[in-house]
Amino acid sequence: MPYARIITIDGPAGCGKTTLGYRLAEELNYSFLDSGILYRAITRHVMNVGAKPHQLDSVQAYTETLTLTIKKLRPRFQFEINGKKVSKLNSLQIDKLVPIIAAYPFIREKVRAMQREIAAQGQVIIAGRDIGTVILPDADLKIYLDVSLEERAVRRHAKQNTEERSLDQVREDMRLRDIADATRETSPMRAATDAVIIKTDGLHVDEVVATVLQHAYIEPENED
Ligand code: DC
């Protein structure tokens, strides 16, 4: 296989990690995990069971016995929490609460275990905030997508469906989430020192895919 076995993609909300991840998975015939959905699903679970998201004790009590199980990796990743599928993971309320839940170290531990289990299978692309720095520091290729807040906000605003937020609101919500994700004590969002940083402002996804594939290609060793 002449391509990196494990590819990580980190970067802020709305930077295009998921679109890039699915495209690469298609090109390489790899599995793709968007780790953000695990934090979103745990946040939904916390809301469903009536825990108080801002109170560590409450979240801890309600998630102590929480189990995350992989159901399927391909073609689309599927998982369960306590034996059940969790849905409706993209609401505005989840956007607001997920950085709080994702900052608890005991939550990150549960998610870390699942991510490493998936990576151990190889031929996988994992996207998130701390994948290249904390989860898989030995990954073969680490990508960090860097895009201006303005471009991310414009893209997200154009895509919103049910909620009617102004561009200013979308931009402000994203700015606050960036700060929460980048300044938390445990596994803050950051580029690994050996990551390939791709600034995608004004780039088409095809150009980003082509750049990553170039970096992912491993020259076969000469056998002479
Ligand atoms: O990528 P996303 O917007 O779906 O991520 C949701 C939240 O989960 C985000 O606010 C930060 C958190 N997250 C994280 O802390 N670490 C990851 N590897 C992925 C997501």
Place of tokens 């893209």: 155
- Its domain, for residue 57, covers 6-215
Residue 180 Cα: closest atom of ligand 1: 10
pLDDT score of 163? 64
Residue 10 Cα: closest atom of ligand 1: 18
Rounded distance from Cα 179 to ligand 1 centre (Å)? 12
The total number of structural domains that make up the chain = 1
Best residue for ligand 1 mutational test, from 112, 114, 129, 179 (most atoms within 8 Å of Cβ)? 129
Task: Write the residue with the smallest CA distance to atom 14 of ligand 1.
Answer: 129
Please indicate, yes or no, if residue 223 is contained in any of the structural domains.
no
In this structure, what are the phi and psi dihedrals at residue 6, rounded to the nearest 5 degrees?
-130, 125
Please indicate, yes or no, if residue 174 is contained in any of the structural domains.
yes
Q: Using only C-alpha atoms, what is the Rg of the chain?
A: 18
CATH of residue 72? 3.40.50.300
Rounded distance from Cα 21 to ligand 1 centre (Å)? 15
In this structure, what are the phi and psi dihedrals at residue 80, rounded to the nearest 5 degrees?
-135, 150
Query: Which of helix, strand or coil describes residue 68?
Result: strand
Q: Print pLDDT tens along the chain (224 aa).
A: 689 999 999 999 999 999 999 999 999 999 999 999 999 999 999 999 999 999 999 999 999 999 999 999 888 899 999 999 999 998 889 999 999 999 999 999 999 999 999 999 999 999 999 999 999 999 999 999 999 999 999 999 988 766 688 999 999 999 999 999 999 999 999 999 999 999 999 999 999 999 999 999 998 877 66
Q: How far apart are CA 78 and CA 34, in angstroms?
A: 11
Residues at CB less than 6 angstroms from ligand 1: 13, 35-36, 39-40, 98-99, 102, 128-131, 177, 181
Please indicate, yes or no, if residue 164 is contained in any of the structural domains.
yes
Please indicate, yes or no, if residue 103 is contained in any of the structural domains.
yes
Rounded distance from Cα 28 to ligand 1 centre (Å)? 24
Q: How far apart are CA 181 and CA 110, in angstroms?
A: 18
Q: How far apart are CA 161 and CA 64, in angstroms?
A: 35
Q: In what order do the strands lie in the sheet with 124-128?
A: 31-34, 124-128, 6-10, 141-146, 196-199
Rounded distance from Cα 163 to ligand 1 centre (Å)? 20
pLDDT score of 101? 97
Please indicate, yes or no, if residue 220 is contained in any of the structural domains.
no
Please indicate, yes or no, if residue 171 is contained in any of the structural domains.
yes
Rounded distance from Cα 129 to ligand 1 centre (Å)? 6
Please indicate, yes or no, if residue 224 is contained in any of the structural domains.
no
pLDDT score of 29? 96
**No. of H helices and E strands in the chain?**
8, 7
Question: Rounded to two decimals, what is the model's pTM?
Answer: 0.94
